Each structure stands twice: as structure tokens, then as C-alpha cells.
């Protein structure tokens, strides 16, 4: 009997023109948390898609042994039948269905007459929800619970399928620190009960916190497996394995050359919820950004940072918006996104796959989308040669790794999608660039590249507003940081004088005051 619950031997997977996996090997012992890490495009998700049957047997070479038996999964249902369940980064939940309906979708519990047994469905759903600590009614619609609870629904759904090996692909990428820790603690608790987990994440602190072993993949090949208690599991050591070199500084150095001129000033900005106009999302907020400055916005989920950014960007969020915007000292009225772009303001969304890019189209198509007028002939027809020239230029400047600009953007890794999205907005030639979670779900190497692009932009006198849930990122990249909580601006601090503890202190004290008032 094998000591491993899973062995993947010499797995090779090719796509047209690309070898995604090249003789990859992975060994996982029962009851361990095994981290699988590497840069974007290294092949982590591809390997797990091979394991889960998403890429069926016959489309790759190599062997998969599960519980000592050679397996050839043709579909995801085949792997689930033996207890392997994968939870993808983009949650596979239907917002307008209940938790119970989502949990048993495609695996419905039926009566003897063939109709759905709703009583048993909701009973079983709530039984599995209790296993993951989710205290909600199984009849609650998924759209009415937060992202953290939706992640728990996916895990409860896995338990309903009698999971033995749970695969989680970037499970905390959309969670705040508190929800992320709660999820990792849950995995540790499940490990004590015998559950085996494979976790893919770019958050190295999470790996150090929960993983028993770490397998590093680079350029489609297995580099090494590190074992907790035996090998060095520090962030620096893991990064060296991922990128093939040491990174002395996670944040590139730059000369802080903030100019006295103010590029963007927002005064007394108030935004109401688009569906519930009586609810104030951002309450009387004022801030400013100098030329050559990176200004950060910190806050927990629900602080109103994204809503603030989107409402400023041509009223693309909210209703009943009041307040004033000044660009380069001139008061402007940005009625829509076209107005914002024309006034050299750009917004890079936190959700690149839904709101930032058209995944079924090419890099060329996406790059010019925000300023088609710049690649049109006098008659308003798109000049294909100009478009190709622009797309090639932005691909080079952003460092996007792709064989051709005619590649569908949905086929790129997360880091390269983010670079392509930045290229799209840099093509608009903004004076002020608002970045919303610009490094979410991408690896340390791609993060460093994006930080260098930000530094290059401000070195040319442009301005950057950075919204991030990662405090080290804000402290490492920004000149000043604004702290928000529940739609209010709490503080303005110089990044050089701030710490993670001091920033969180503002938020905690404000939350305590609100609780006391209630």
C-alpha cells in the first residue's frame, strides 16, 4: 500500500504552441495540507485541472495514482466520485439560487417519484454548513451573503460530495485578513479529522501558517518540495524557488519626487447606494493627490473604497452623488466614463475578468478598447495597422508574456492579464491612474513588475491612487495613505511614519466607537 493518497507522475500537458506542464511530479500524504506554488503561468492550476478531470485522460501524458490505484478521470464527476473535489478561484455559485440549491445543483436529492426532495435538501445542506461553521439558513440566497461565507458554501458543497482530497485554488484572494485566517484555521481543523488538502495561493504568509509541505513549480516543471520542520520555509526561501533568484527587496526603490501641484482633489464627496438610495456608501469624503505621488487607500471590506473610486470615475457607481472634483486645479463635471477618460483619469478595476477585460477577445482588441478614437481613420473606421502597432507597443512596455497579440486574453495567466489590463489604461495616457487591488491573485514576480510600472509613471509626474487590502503593499509603495472605515475617512498618514498596527488601530477604534453608540 502506498504511503501517498496522491501521486502524479511525469504529467505533461500541451496546448497549441505551449507546453504547460513538462514531466511534473507531485506526491501528497494523507491528512496533510500541501501547498502548490509558483509564478502565474507556472502550471499550478493546469496540474489541478488534470487531476480533477477538467482536462480529461487522453489530453495529457503521465500517470495519476489515487489511494494506490491508477486513475483516468474523463470528467470532474469521475474525480468527485472517488472523493477529489476542486474549488476554483472563481466560485461556481449561482447568486439567485439558495445555498441549498447551489450545494446540490447537479447532484439533486430526489424522492422515489423523481421530484426534488426539498426538505432533505435543506436538511443535508445545513448539516454540512454546520461542519464548516456557516450559521445561515440553507434557503438564504447566495447573493445575500458575503464572499467569505460564499467560500464556506463551496467547502460545505465539497463535504456533501464526501470529499477526501480537497483542492483550493486561490481560496483567499477575495477575502479580508480576518476571513482568510478563519478559512485557514478551518483547513487546519479538518486536517486533524483526516482531510487532505492541496492549496494554491500567492500569499506566502498563508503557506507558512498552514502548510505541511510546499511543492514549487516553475515554467511547467517541478522544482522542489519543501517540508515544514525539515527545510527552510521562510518567504525569502520560497520566493527564490519560485522565481529562480533571490529578491532582496519586494518593493522597488524610487526617489520620492512629489511635486507641490495637485493633480486630483475631491471635496465633500458623498455617494448613495444605487439600489437603496437611503443608504450612504461614502460620506463627505475629501482627499487630494499631488503630481508624482502614490496615494494609498486602506480599509476593510465594506469600507467604501471601490465605491469611491468608481463614483469618481464618471459616476460608474452610485446615485445621489454630491461633491466636487478638481483635476489640475480645474473644477470638472465627469458625467460618465467617457468624460473621465477625456480628462485623463483612468480606473483599473479590482475584477479584471468581469469588468476589466473581454476574455473571449484578443490582446489587440482589449488594448485599444478604452480609446478607439486613437486608432481610427478619419472616417471613424478602425485602422488595423495602427491597432496592431499600439498593441505590440503596450505588450512590450507592460512586459506581457504572450507569443502573439492575437492570443485570446482569457488564455493568459492572471499576472499577464493584469499587465494587459494596465496596458489598456496606460494607452489612454492618464494623468491620474486609480488602481483597485492591482496585484490581487498574482505572484511576487508579476507584482514586482507592476510596482516598477507604477514607479515609472510617477517618475514622469503622473499620479497614482492605490486601493489595496495588503497593508505591506501600501506601506512599501505609497507616499501617503488614507484610512477608511464604513464609508468614512478616518485618517491621513505619511507612509514613512505608518505601521500596519497604527493603520489597523484607526479602524479598530472607529469600529469600537460605532459599537458603543449602537
Query: Domain ranges in the chain?
Result: 1-83+164-246, 93-162, 262-344+430-517, 356-429
Strands (E), 32-114: 33-37, 61-66, 69-71, 84-87
**In angstroms, rounded to a whole number, what is the distance separating the alpha carbons of residues 80 and 66?**
12
DSSP string, 471-482: HHHHHHH-SEEE
- CA Rg, the chain, in Å? 24
**In angstroms, rounded to a whole number, what is the distance separating the alpha carbons of residues 8 and 36?**
13
* CB-based contact 68:1 (threshold 8 Å): yes
What are the distances in angstroms from CA 21 to CA 48, 172, 291, 358?
11, 25, 45, 26
pLDDT score of 518: 52
Question: How much is the pTM?
Answer: 0.68
Identical topology for domains 1-83+164-246 and 262-344+430-517: yes
pLDDT score of 466: 97
> What is the distance of C-alpha 174 from the center of its chain?
6
- Judging by DSSP bridges, how do beta strands 213-218 and 33-37 pair with one another? parallel
- Measured in degrees and rounded to the nearest 5, phi and psi for residue 294 equal -105, 120
3 state SS of 512: helix
**In angstroms, rounded to a whole number, what is the distance separating the alpha carbons of residues 254 and 237?**
25
Number of Cβ within a 10 Å radius of residue 196: 23
**In angstroms, rounded to a whole number, what is the distance separating the alpha carbons of residues 84 and 158?**
9
Domain 1-83+164-246: CATH superfamily, name plus number: P-loop containing nucleotide triphosphate hydrolases (3.40.50.300)
pLDDT score of 511: 64
What are the distances in angstroms from CA 472 to CA 468, 478, 483?
9, 10, 14
3 state SS of 432: strand
Q: In the chain, how long is the greatest CA-to-CA distance? A: 76
pLDDT score of 301: 72
- Which residue shows C-alpha cell 478616518? 490
Across 241-265, b (16+ Cβ under 10 Å) vs e yields: bbbeeeeeebbeebeeebeeebbbb
Q: What CATH number should be reported for the domain whose range is 262-344+430-517?
A: 3.40.50.300
List 6's β-bridge partners, or say none: 28, 66
pLDDT score of 516: 54
- Give burial (CB, 10 Å; 0-12/13-18/19+) of 240: middle
List, for the chain, all residue ranges whose pLDDT scores fall below the cut of 50.
Answer: 1
Residue 42 zone, left/alpha/beta (φ > 0; ψ -120 to 50; rest): alpha
pLDDT score of 325: 97
* CB-based contact 167:84 (threshold 8 Å): yes
Residue 405 zone, left/alpha/beta (φ > 0; ψ -120 to 50; rest): alpha
**In angstroms, rounded to a whole number, what is the distance separating the alpha carbons of residues 173 and 203?**
8
**In angstroms, rounded to a whole number, what is the distance separating the alpha carbons of residues 325 and 263?**
10
Q: Which residues contact 328 (CB under 8 A, 6 or more apart)?
A: 261, 262, 263, 431
- Judging by DSSP bridges, how do beta strands 262-272 and 432-436 pair with one another? unpaired
DSSP string, 227-289: EBTTB---HHHHHHHHHSS--S-SS--------SSEEEEEEEEEEE-SS-TTSEEEEEEEEEE
Amino acid at each position: 500500500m502506498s504511503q501517498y493518497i496522491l501521486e502524479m507522475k511525469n504529467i505533461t500537458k500541451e496546448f497549441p504552441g505551449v507546453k504547460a506542464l513538462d514531466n511534473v511530479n507531485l506526491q501528497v500524504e494523507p491528512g496533510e495540507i500541501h501547498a502548490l506554488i509558483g509564478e502565474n503561468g507556472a502550471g499550478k492550476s493546469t496540474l489541478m485541472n488534470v487531476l480533477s478531470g477538467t482536462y480529461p485522460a487522453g489530453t495529457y501524458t503521465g500517470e495519476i495514482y489515487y489511494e494506490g490505484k491508477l486513475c483516468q478521470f474523463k470528467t470532474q464527476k469521475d474525480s468527485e466520485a472517488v472523493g477529489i473535489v476542486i474549488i476554483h478561484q472563481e466560485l461556481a455559485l449561482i447568486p439567485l439560487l439558495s445555498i441549498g440549491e447551489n450545494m446540490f445543483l447537479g447532484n439533486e436529492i430526489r424522492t422515489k417519484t423523481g421530484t426534488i426532495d426539498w426538505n432533505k435538501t435543506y436538511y443535508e445542506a445545513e448539516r454540512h454548513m454546520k461542519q464548516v461553521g456557516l450559521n445561515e439558513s440553507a434557503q438564504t440566497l447566495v447573493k445575500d451573503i458575503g464572499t467569505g461565507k460564499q467560500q464556506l458554501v463551496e467547502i460545505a458543497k465539497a463535504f456533501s460530495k464526501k470529499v477526501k482530497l480537497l483542492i483550493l485554488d486561490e481560496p483567499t484572494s477575495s477575502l479580508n485578513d480576518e476571513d482568510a485566517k478563519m478559512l485557514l484555521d478551518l483547513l487546519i481543523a479538518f486536517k486533524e479529522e483526516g482531510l487532505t488538502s492541496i492549496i494554491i495561493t500567492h500569499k506566502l504568509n498563508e503557506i507558512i501558517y498552514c502548510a505541511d509541505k510546499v511543492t514549487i513549480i516553475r515554467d511547467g516543471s517541478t522544482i522542489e518540495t519543501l517540508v515544514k520542520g525539515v527545510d527552510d520555509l521562510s518567504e525569502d526561501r520560497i520566493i527564490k524557488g519560485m522565481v529562480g533568484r533571490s529578491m532582496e527587496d519586494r518593493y522597488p526603490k524610487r526617489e520620492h519626487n512629489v511635486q507641490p501641484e495637485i493633480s486630483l482633489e475631491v471635496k465633500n464627496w458623498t455617494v448613495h447606494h444605487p439600489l437603496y438610495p437611503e443608504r450612504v456608501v461614502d460620506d463627505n469624503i475629501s482627499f487630494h493627490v499631488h503630481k508624482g505621488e502614490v496615494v494609498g487607500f486602506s480599509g476593510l471590506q465594506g469600507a467604501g473604497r471601490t465605491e469611491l473610486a468608481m463614483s469618481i470615475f464618471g459616476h460608474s457607481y452610485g446615485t445621489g452623488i454630491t461633491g466636487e472634483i478638481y483635476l489640475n486645479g480645474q473644477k470638472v463635471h465627469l458625467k460618465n466614463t467617457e468624460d473621465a477618460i477625456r480628462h485623463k483619469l483612468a480606473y483599473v478595476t479590482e475584477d479584471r475578468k468581469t469588468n476589466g477585460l473581454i476574455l473571449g477577445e484578443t490582446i489587440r482588441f482589449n488594448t485599444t478598447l478604452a480609446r478607439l478614437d486613437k486608432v481610427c481613420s478619419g472616417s471613424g473606421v478602425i485602422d488595423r495597422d495602427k491597432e496592431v502597432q499600439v498593441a505590440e507597443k503596450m505588450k512590450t512596455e507592460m512586459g506581457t508574456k504572450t507569443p502573439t497579440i492575437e492570443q485570446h486574453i482569457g488564455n493568459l495567466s492572471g499576472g499577464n492579464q493584469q499587465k494587459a489590463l494596465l496596458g489598456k489604461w496606460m494607452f489612454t495616457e492618464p494623468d491620474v491612474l486609480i488602481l483597485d487591488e492591482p496585484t490581487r491573485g498574482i505572484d511576487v514576480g508579476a507584482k514586482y513588475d507592476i510596482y516598477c510600472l507604477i514607479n515609472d509613471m510617477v517618475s514622469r509626474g503622473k499620479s497614482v491612487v492605490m486601493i489595496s487590502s495588503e497593508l505591506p503593499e501600501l506601506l512599501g509603495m505609497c507616499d501617503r495613505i488614507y484610512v477608511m472605515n464604513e464609508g468614512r475617512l478616518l485618517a491621513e498618514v505619511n507612509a514613512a511614519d505608518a505601521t500596519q498596527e497604527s493603520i489597523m488601530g484607526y479602524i479598530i477604534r472607529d469600529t469600537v466607537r460605532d459599537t458603543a453608540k449602537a
